[in-house]
Each structure stands twice: as C-alpha cells, then as structure tokens.
Amino acid sequence: MAQDDPRTLVSTEWLAQHLKDPDLRIIDASWYLPGDGRDPKAEYDSAHIPGARFFDIDEIADLRSDLPHMVPPVEKFMSRMRAMGVGDGHQVVVYDGAGLFSAARVWWLFRLMGQDNVAVLDGGFPKWQAEGRPVEDLPPVIRDRHMTVRRQNHMVRDVTQVSSASKLGDHEIIDARAPARFRGEAPEPRPGLRAGHIPGSKNVHFATLLNEDGTMKAPDDLRAVFASAGVDLDKPAITTCGSGVTAAVLSLAMERFGKSDHSLYDGSWTEWGMFPTVPVATGEA
C-alpha cells in the first residue's frame, strides 16, 4: 500500500475519498506506443474516472519539433490547461489506462511548469476498475481557471547538455527502456534509429520499479533497484527512454525516495538514436 503523497503518488483509496473535493482535478493521460493498437481517446470516451479530463500527450506538445510529444511552449500549456479547467489552487491527480506508464510524463510536465500539487494515481485505471469503483462516459463540466506557470528549466535537458554529461560523467544518465533495447539487441519501435544507448548511461527498466498490479514499489525497494543497476545516487540524475515518456516513471520513483536532483532528457532515444554526431554504446552498461 503506497504512502499517499499528493505531490507524487496517491492510492485509489485516497482518490475515492477525495473524488467530490471541489478543487480536485483528475486527468486521464493515457498514451500508448504505436504498436499497441489502442486508442486512448476512444477508451476515455467510453469510460473514465468521474470528472476526469483527457490530456492528449501528442497534442499538448511542441508541434514545431520533428520529435514526438516534446515539451509544449509555456503559453500553449497554459491555454490548454485553462480550456481543461485546470489551474491555480487545484490538486491534480493523473492516471493512465496501462497502470503506471504515461501518467508519470504528465506529472513531470506539471512539475516542469512549476505545479507541485500533482500526483499520479498508483495502479491507474486498471486498478480503479478492478476494485469496482465508479466510472462514467460523460464529458466533465469545465470552468475556466487561470494557471500561473513558472517553468523549472533545470528539470529538462537537451541533446547538447546530455552529450556533455555523457562525456564528463558528472551526472548519472539512467535509461528506462527494456534491457534488450538498451544493449542494442532489440530493434527500436521507431524506424531509422540506431540501436544501443548513451555512453556511460545505466539501465533501470521502468517495469522493474512496479509491482505485478502496476503499482509502484515502496521507496526503499525503489532505491534498491537503482542501486543494483549501479546508479550512484549521490550524483544528479538525467532520465531518458525511447521518447521521454517512461523516463518520467524513473523521475517519479526517485522523487518517491527523496531524490530531487533529477532532470529528464526530453528528446530521449528518438533524438539521440538519429543524431549523426553523438556516439552510441552497445552491450551492458
């Protein structure tokens, strides 16, 4: 049973107790890899937690970039949140349809935008449904609310910064992809990318941080997973993955055990793997 913390992770029990709170805003941030064959918006339309708004990770993004779902400009984030009725003074709870997968990305995005009162629903929609809790298929009633954004630039990294960290070894670069992709043995889901990992990075597959029911492991167990992967937790961390989604699961896990000096490489392997001038390592870390 997770320790409820409205800034990181809350249980289905906590959300059920607070469902009627006037300042609670629930966000369905479901997103799937192209090969999964799932349509998150259609699933949301057919059933979601009462009052939930749908957050389109691919649209609330910087569409000027060739890379998928990069961090949106501040103005765009603010206008989309206003349209969703999410703003100052709200407690936000983010969930997804996979358990604990893409919700962490939106949690991280809120944190990047200076919003602290945001938590991920532990175990997500699958756990909520398995417990027979209420769902609805109605769109929520939206009232505009302004959001004050103070972007926390230290929480995001670009390819130049990550390349420097890789060379200097002054950060731990932690890759959330599956081990076979990290080692360069399995093909990338996106065509045209080289196989392998950022030189000097360590591999903590995001799934190793979760229990079988999709909930996150206890803080001490999370810390042990990072330690067993050879991560030096005294160094600041940069999380990375395929396209910046599951990297945020690592960020959330570190926040759970009290490590706050972490940033996320937004372009992740989608950028690094196609960037001709940066080196690629293969095999074990």
Q: State the Cα–Cα distance between residues 7 and 252, nearest whole angstrom.
A: 10
- The residue ranking higher by pLDDT, 187 or 82, is 82
214 contacts 74 by C-beta, under 8 angstroms = no
Q: How confident is the model at residue 179 (pLDDT cuts 50, 70, 90)?
A: very high
- Catalytic residue list contains 241: yes
Taking the complete model, does pTM exceed 0.85, yes or no? yes
Q: Which two tokens stand for residue 161?
A: 């910064």
Each residue of 23-73: pLDDT tens digit? 999 999 999 987 899 999 999 999 999 999 999 999 999 999 999 999 999
Distances from the Cα of 282 to the Cα of 88, 195, 196, angstroms: 45, 7, 5
| Burial classification of residue 126, based on how many CB atoms lie within 10 Å of its CB (0-12 exposed, 13-18 middle, 19 or more buried) | middle
How many alpha carbons lie under 13 Å from residue 103 in its C-beta half-sphere? 30
How do residues 205-261 score in pLDDT, each as one tens digit?
999 999 999 999 999 999 999 999 999 999 999 999 999 999 999 999 999 999 999
User: Helix, strand, coil shares of the chain as percentages rounded to 5?
Assistant: 30, 15, 55
Considering 15, 70, 209, 241, which one is annotated as catalytic?
241
Contact 208, 178 (CB under 8 A): no
Nearest to 152 by CA among 191, 125, 113, 121: 113
Provide mean pLDDT across the span 171-197: 95
Dist CA 117 CA 103 (whole Å): 15
